[in-house]
Amino acid sequence: MAKCLVIGASSFIGVYVVDAFLEAGYEVVVTGRNGRLKEHYEKRHIGYVDFDLSNERAVTALPKDIDVVAHLAGRLPASSESHLIVGDDDAAMYIKENALSVAYLLEWASDCGIDRIISTVSYADVQNAWSIEHPITEAMGRDFCLYGDHAAYVISKNAACDLLLYYNNQHHMKNIIFRLPPVYGVGPHLSLNVNGIAKRSGIGHFIDLAKTGERITVYGDGSDCRDIVYVKDVAQAFVKAAMSEKAAGLYNIGSGVPTPLYEQAKAIADVFSSGGIVSEVELDETKSNSIVSYSMDISKAMRDFGYAPAFACFRDLMLDWKREEDRGVYGPLFQV
């Protein structure tokens, strides 16, 4: 039986990746720093290792008989409390937790004869080139913002990406990096930090309004498009890439279908309506939103390891989100 180590199994994507590998017949060992999630995994008889990825010696506690590592731990802007507006910068922590930790992990994996780590990088690495007319491809050169709360994060993830590719070339590993757009699904992300200040996310706000039947207002003309990927599709991509002999390097993992903001709001209003009351969706073209339209080319992942998103249709994504919310398995894992 193949064995997978999921580092960051207490993260939003991590819990779904664990389930996907188990369903595929893998033995799974997990790491994390969340007591509630530790209890969740131990109840399911899944091996759990307390792991601080910023500690160079922490890798010595990891099991060595591993076939593939799914690496999902790290520092995120959405959970950072550093207030950039007043000069409270946490760039050093991003480098330590997202880049230096990967260097430690690669040294350990190489010593153990583990030839594949699957990790992620932000789609903001090409943010200045986002366009609906020209889909994001793996061949694009980096073009990102050197300001804002995502800048240090992107720099650290790019460095980690480069280290993974370096080990592919220098040490003949088959590391894989997934470039991810926003990942949707039942989890802790309906609220997030922006420059260290907690705010309700756009998707969270729309769902709140839909559940109470209140009007949903979309700023602009509603035509701004985004490629959004469902967490279950991301989890399946991890499994398919792990099982592929061909897969290596950078891959876009999106839905491949950019959905206009107005259509997103309409789907949310329909799916999360309650008591037969469906929220009216209106446009307010006197106000602009912060969305920059973009699309993602996922053909390389489809070709190399058979990636095929089951929830490319945004409405199907929201319907499954609602089913999972009603099932009540994932949501409670992230409640404070």
pLDDT digits (tens, 9 = 90+) for 234-274: 999 999 999 999 999 999 999 999 999 999 999 999 999 98
* Between residues 6 and 197, the one the model is more confident about: 6
189: nearest Cα among 230, 134, 248, 250: 230
Cα separation values, 279 from 65, 83, 105, 275, 286, Å: 53, 35, 48, 11, 21
Q: Under a CB-based contact definition with an 8 Å cutoff, are residues 176 and 237 in contact?
A: no
47-51: long-range contacts, CB 8 A cutoff, minimum separation 24 = 48/9, 51/7
pLDDT digits (tens, 9 = 90+) for 28-81: 999 988 777 888 899 999 999 988 887 888 899 999 999 999 999 998 886 666
Confidence category of residue 149, pLDDT binned at 50, 70, 90:
confident
* Between residues 8 and 290, the one the model is more confident about: 8
- Checking if the pLDDT of 16 tops 80, the result is yes
Calculate mean pLDDT across residues 272-279: 92
* Between residues 146 and 86, the one the model is more confident about: 146
Q: Under a CB-based contact definition with an 8 Å cutoff, are residues 254 and 210 in contact?
A: no
Q: Under a CB-based contact definition with an 8 Å cutoff, are residues 136 and 193 in contact?
A: no
Q: What is the pLDDT of residue 115?
A: 96
